[in-house]
Amino acid sequence: MTALHHATDFANTVDFAGYHIPRLGMGTMALAIEGRPDRGTALETIRAALDCGVRYLDTAWSYYLPSAPGTGTPEDMGYGERLVRDALAGWDGPRDEVLVATKTGYRRTCEAVAGASASQDRASATGGGRQHLQAAGSRYGWMADSRPETMIRDAKESARHLGVDALDLLYSHGPDPAVPYEDQIGALKQLLDEGVIRYAGISRVDNAQIDTARAILGDRLIAVQNPFSPSHPDPERTMEHCALLGLDFVCWSPLGGFLDPFDRHCYDPFREVAAARGVSYQRVVLAWELTRYDRLFTIPSARNPREIRDSFAATELRLTDEELARLG
């Protein structure tokens, strides 16, 4: 029996991690990794998001440009988190209303993964059996390192990057095949117990891993961050599982993503509705996602102020029952 109920009248502002915020936030990865805009444009983009009403910013310890296998230059390590810190420091709005979430357990790598043709999980002999995530056509990728000591060290470093005493919300960036999942969640528990983080989340997980984390963390686990979009419709039904458990579901790559290839024809019905409405199809996609679950947050990325302003306008777009039926 499903706990999900789709509706056009869900509240778009809800309580989450101690904040009362809109369910549309902003992912900042595109501002910090390869293809990123200049720093001034990135800061302007984050502040434009805040000015139009975004109150949830998502970053990660691993949002930087790598310079050698598994490492980054001293100047670029922590770039994404420091960017968020500096954008907030130079913003004249209510900083205490903004939730900043970050992630631990991954690092960047320039290692070429033999035979990688898309962003996918694969073990590398040179990486000690660790998980690699490689984008198609790119020599850059991510490497899982979720050893408890690494997760704890990086989380404390994230707090320094962000200039805070405690992190609002910290996600485990993803399972590491080289580390028992219970140990990874145990690291989050230690960080909670020590007051380094206020709330915990998990990412890239299946339902069994959600249950494991819930059993260890209890109600201090508040969110699951998994991909969800018309081109990735949550085949393992983790959103439904979150609804059954009362967990928030945060969808990354809500517009299909920019690192991985995806079936663009999935978005044709959204383009048709958008053309009839005179808005962007991206705005229609985000508005549709907000109707999927009343505890769903969507965090589109942006590389300039125009993109995030258009995305946030989805919170004001109400789709009709006929349009929702057409979109599926």
CATH class of 21-327: alpha beta
Residues 6 or more apart whose CB falls under 8 angstroms from that of 202 comprise 171, 172, 185, 188, 209, 210, 213, 221, 223, 224, 225
In the structure, what pLDDT confidence band is assigned to residue 16 with cuts at 50, 70 and 90?
Answer: very high
Q: For 76-122, what is each residue's pLDDT tens digit? A: 999 999 999 999 999 999 999 999 999 999 988 765 444 443 344 43
Supply the DSSP symbol for 294.
T
Average pLDDT over residues 129-144: 67
pLDDT at 108: 87
Q: What is the pTM of this model?
A: 0.92
In the structure, what pLDDT confidence band is assigned to residue 131 with cuts at 50, 70 and 90?
Answer: low
Among 58, 97, 6, which Cα is nearest to 295's? 6
Q: For 240-266, what is each residue's pLDDT tens digit? A: 999 999 999 999 999 998 767 789 999
Average pLDDT over residues 42-49: 98
Mapping DSSP to helix (H, G, I), strand (E, B) and coil, where does residue 263 land? coil
**Which amino acid type is present at position 45?**
T
Q: For 220-229, what is each residue's pLDDT tens digit? A: 999 999 999 9
DSSP result, 139-186: S-EEEE---HHHHHHHHHHHHHHHT-SSEEEEEE----TTS-HHHHHH
- The Cα–Cα gap between 185 and 226 comes to 17
**Which amino acid type is present at position 236?**
E
Tokens of 247: 């967990």
pLDDT greater than 90 at residue 64: yes
pLDDT at 118: 38
pLDDT at 326: 96
Radius of gyration of the chain (CA): 19
Tokens of 129: 């059996």
Q: For 295-305, what is each residue's pLDDT tens digit? A: 999 999 999 99
Average pLDDT over residues 45-51: 98
In the structure, what pLDDT confidence band is assigned to residue 188 with cuts at 50, 70 and 90?
Answer: very high
Taking all residues of the chain, what is their mean pLDDT, rounded to a whole number? 90
Average pLDDT over residues 34-38: 93
Going from N- to C-terminal start, the domains of the chain cover: 21-327
pLDDT greater than 60 at residue 271: yes
